[in-house]
Structure 1
Amino acid sequence: MNLALLLCLLMLIGGVWLMRRGVRDAQSERVVERLAEGQAQPVRVKMGIFQRELLRSGLRMPSWLAVLLLVAWLLVAFLAMVLGGWLALLIMLLGPLVLLRLLMMWQYSRRLQRMIGQMPQFLDHVVRSLKSGRTLGDGMLLSMESCQEPLHGAMTRTRKAVERGMPLAEAMEDFAELYERDEFHILAMGIAVNQRYGGNASELLNNLIGMIRDRDRAARQLRALTGETRISAVVLGGLPLAMGGYIFLSNPQMLLNMWEQSGGRLVLMVAFGLQVIGTWLLWRMMRSI
């Protein structure tokens, strides 16, 4: 008991230290951002995987709040280990990470679809700016400022990079690499070719608008034609979990007795592994449709 109290005290001290460090880092980041606003040189920032996923999904969280949640997560995991053993600790360590990853993937997919839906209006605004006499760079910046969310928030980083001195082609290429969509890569390539060799930018953008609308129409028709297949995949993936939950609620002693025996534990672990593999295969098949 004394050891558990000592570990809790050490984790609390470490949490307070991490919180203070997070607040100090957040203040330093704000100072660096204010100093960078006056720079006139190209700025390319290397991002970590977690920061990149947060930026793609549009989830925003202050540094101090992230540190606070991390400390709370570690404390809950430690309490789970004290009360439920190593299995509860493993669940508390892996469960939030899996849920956070799924949330980021869902938010990124949902945000990306809305951005693609706003691209024709955004490009049409650029074309009208070109016809009024503006340059391609000025038209892009003006359209970035006037477009709606979530495209406006996604383009903010690109617009600031251009205002700091980065060439428009490089900024759009960085934007395309971040969100990984063919439409964004085609736009970045078209801007790079136009700025290097010249040409009719309005015609290029009009063709891109037609391509985006055609792909969106084809995707909607495909989703309508494959709706029954996707529903069947969801049912097949969720049926074993539903049956397992029903057996555990109706007769929990059956599964608990199996878990207490070495052979039953092996059967349950193999069944869980097969369920994970089957769900992953169904998910891959659904993505390929």
Structure 2
Amino acid sequence: MLTAALIAIVAVLISNASPLGVVLALVFGACGFMVPAAVVRNLKGRRQAALNAQLVETLQMISNGLRSGFAFTQAVELAAGQIASPMKDELESFLRDGRLGQAAEDSLKALAERTGSLDVEMIVTTILVQRTTGGNLSEILDNVAETIRERERLKGEIRALTASQRFSGLILSIYPAFLAAVFFLIAPSVMKVLVTEEVGRILLAVAIGLQLIGAWTIRRILTLDV
């Protein structure tokens, strides 16, 4: 938010508060607000995707450890020694909290909060309920792993079914820029108006802003949660 405000102020100062400056302030201010959040969201999403991809394997390791007679914490330590990052880092943080005297329930809740993953939160809730009501934790973890595996299969089917729509969205996003480049080659004298004239620059800035909003809207529509 602060970055967006600074970019908008700089754009206005550079252009002496002309109409073009106001439009540029709005466009670049919107970009300054959206781009950092999009980058952070992308990095967070990639890490969560990597964690979720390791969940089934991790649950199977813990379940096998429990079947072998290990306690839950020992089974987690066994899994942490065999799994790769980023899951390894999260399991080691959980174990470190336990060594420092934190209760297992609190360590599990901290794990779910740290990852921000709905699947991890579901697993933690399942384990906490089992610790309260009892039951075969190994079998419960196997059932959770099967549920997660089925969800991943459904996500794959959804990606396949929406592939054409996502491709259409990509074409709609890049088509205006491609068309503008073609017109610049065919009729440069006409297209120069968008750069040399005040009104043309305003229209160009508005068009770019609307194009960014349209691309973002298409992406949001095609993002489905399972």
TM-score, structure 1 normalization = 0.60
On the 8 A contact 1:194/1:201 being kept in 2, the answer is yes
Please point out which of 57, 62, 83 is paired with 1:126.
Answer: 62
1:131 to 1:227, Cα distance in 2 relative to 1, 3 A: same
Q: How far, CA to CA, are the matches of 2:107 and 2:180 in structure 1?
A: 51
Q: How far, CA to CA, are the matches of 1:288 and 1:237 in structure 2?
A: 19
Please point out which of 60, 72, 88 is paired with 1:136.
Answer: 72
Return the offset for 1:202: 1.2
Task: Name the SS of the counterpart of 1:213 in structure 2.
Answer: helix
Give runs of aligned pairs for residues 33-112 of structure 1, distance below 5 A: 101-112=37-48
Return the offset for 1:131: 1.4
**Higher RCO (CA 8 Å, separation ≥ 6 residues):** 2
Partner letter of residue 139 of structure 2? E
1:215 to 1:223, Cα distance in 2 relative to 1, 3 A: same
Please point out which of 177, 180, 193 is paired with 1:244.
Answer: 180
Return the offset for 1:230: 1.1
Answer yes or no: is 1:265 the counterpart of 2:201.
yes
1:174 to 1:283, Cα distance in 2 relative to 1, 3 A: same
CA RMSD of aligned residues (A): 3.3
Aligned to 1:182: 118
Of the structure 1 ranges 262-271 and 198-207, higher mean CA displacement relative to structure 2 is found in: 262-271
Q: How far, CA to CA, are the matches of 2:178 and 2:95 in structure 1?
A: 48
Q: Percent identity among equivalent residues?
A: 23
Q: How far, CA to CA, are the matches of 1:281 and 1:152 in structure 2?
A: 36
Unaligned runs of 5+ in 2: 1-6, 16-20
User: What does the per-residue CA deviation read over 1:87-142, in whole Å, with 9 as the maximum and x for residues that have no partner?
Assistant: 8xx89999798666544433433332232222111111111111122222221233
1:167 to 1:253, Cα distance in 2 relative to 1, 3 A: farther
Number of equivalent positions: 208
Q: How far, CA to CA, are the matches of 2:50 and 2:67 in structure 1?
A: 27
Q: How far, CA to CA, are the matches of 1:253 and 1:186 in structure 2?
A: 61
On the 8 A contact 1:158/1:172 being kept in 2, the answer is yes
User: What does the per-residue CA deviation read over 1:194-250, in whole Å, with 9 as the maximum and x for residues that have no partner?
Assistant: 233332211210110100111111111221122111111111112123333444566
Aligned to 1:278: 214
On the 8 A contact 1:144/1:159 being kept in 2, the answer is no
Aligned to 1:214: 150
Q: How far, CA to CA, are the matches of 1:236 and 1:272 in structure 2?
A: 13
Aligned to 1:113: 49
Q: How far, CA to CA, are the matches of 1:115 and 1:250 in structure 2?
A: 50
On the 8 A contact 2:184/2:191 being kept in 1, the answer is yes
Partner letter of residue 122 of structure 2? I
Return the offset for 1:281: 0.9
On the 8 A contact 1:130/1:139 being kept in 2, the answer is yes
TM-score, structure 2 normalization = 0.75
Please point out which of 131, 134, 140 is paired with 1:195.
Answer: 131
Partner letter of residue 153 of structure 1? D
1:158 to 1:246, Cα distance in 2 relative to 1, 3 A: farther
Of the structure 1 ranges 253-262 and 225-234, higher mean CA displacement relative to structure 2 is found in: 253-262
Unaligned runs of 5+ in 1: 1-76
